[in-house]
A and B are shown apart, each in its own frame.
Chain A
């Protein structure tokens, strides 16, 4: 009986160590990066032609994706914890999101979707993607997903500078999520 009690005590210690390893630290640089991209990219819909918007996102999305990977890699080295399985899951999640956004253009090309509605479709994909990322990656992203979902509804009914408002709201929610992550890490 003493042996099994010792084993149970040791397993409790191991469980606590494992729980600590799942800590709240998040690579906040990625949040700030996408806040900046959204703050520039979303308002472009209100102030620039569709051609300019297309060029911006064609460049910003993959560049942001690569920079996010580099920030994540640097972050894992800084905290001293490398998890290839998690990294791979995160990369696939966001790569899938990028591909889905790219595929929306097919609906526009074959006439199933009006150009003006493309932005809203992308917003909906982003909302779902951030929400699911919040469920199994970094919890603060859940709130970004909810804000994007609400923005999608808002975009359907509000006219005038809606993309500028959305850009500010999305960037703000990303910065707020980053600050929440920093505060949790300090607990």
Chain B
């Protein structure tokens, strides 16, 4: 990381930190949101397979994203087996874009000296 001096030091860095979405700071929720921005719909079992998380942990994280309105869930049956499909909502897409921009800023901008 490049270090800078002067009164402006750390200003952009703090701004990027401030734009981070608390909900998406958790890596599982971030991974799920990015996956759903890449694919139109993913089933619970597929997300579980990709993230390697347990049912309970993944379910809790998905519920938090759903409660925030970032993702939507829809239940279906395939050969009598219930499947829950998840998709990213417009609000979720917007929040993810803002969060990723902030992350980008955090990694790109000069790091303040202590």
Which residues of A does B touch, CB under 8 Å? 1, 3-4, 7-11, 13-14, 17-18, 20-21, 77-85
Q: Which of A1, A13, A78, A85 contacts B27 (CB 8 A)?
A: A13
Neighbouring A residues of B31 by C-beta, 8 Å: 13-14, 17-18
Report how many residues on chain B are interfacial, defined by Cβ distance under 8 Å. 27
B93 close to chain A: CB less than 8 A: no
Partner of A8, one of B34, B38, B41, B107: B107
Contact partners of B34 in chain A: CB under 8 A = 14, 17-18
Given contacts A17-B35, A83-B40, A85-B40, 8 further A-B contacts (CB under 8 A): A7-B106, A14-B31, A17-B31, A17-B50, A18-B38, A20-B49, A80-B83, A82-B85
List residues 47-96 of chain B with CB under 8 A from any CB of chain A.
47, 49-51, 78, 83, 85
**A14-B31, A17-B31 known; A81+B39 contact, CB < 8 A:** yes
Neighbouring A residues of B22 by C-beta, 8 Å: none
User: Which 8 A-B pairs rank lowest in CB-CB distance, beginning with the nearest?
Assistant: A80-B43, A80-B46, A82-B41, A10-B27, A17-B31, A14-B31, A84-B40, A82-B40
Q: Are B107 and A80 in contact (CB under 8 A)?
A: no
CB distance from B42 to the nearest CB of A (A): 6
Beta-carbon contact of A81 and B43 below 8 Å: yes
Contacts of A82 in B (CB 8 A): 39-42, 85
Find the B residue at minimum CB distance from A78.
Answer: B78
Instruction: Name the prevailing secondary structure of the A interface residues.
Output: helix
Choice from B1, B35, B83, B103 contacting A11 with Cβ under 8 Å = B103
Q: Is B4 an interface residue (CB 8 A)?
A: no
Q: Decide if A7 touches B107 in the complex (CB within 8 Å).
A: yes
Q: Is the CB of B50 within 8 A of A20?
A: yes
Whether a CB of chain A sits under 8 angstroms from the CB of B9 is: no
In whole angstroms, how far apart are the Cα atoms of A83 and B42 in the complex? 9
> How distant is the Cα of A18 from the Cα of B83 in the complex, in angstroms?
21
CB distance from A134 to the nearest CB of B (A): 22
B71 to chain A, nearest CB (A): 14
Q: Cα distance A20–B85 when bound, in Å?
A: 19
Residues of the B chain whose Cβ atoms lie less than 8 Å from the Cβ of A17? 31, 34-35, 50-51
Nearest CB in chain B: distance from A77 CB, A: 6
Shortest C-beta distance, B22 to chain A (Å), equals 14
- 15 A-B pairs with CB atoms under 8 Å apart are A13-B27, A13-B31, A14-B27, A17-B31, A17-B35, A20-B50, A80-B43, A80-B83, A81-B39, A81-B42, A82-B39, A82-B42, A83-B38, A83-B40, A84-B40
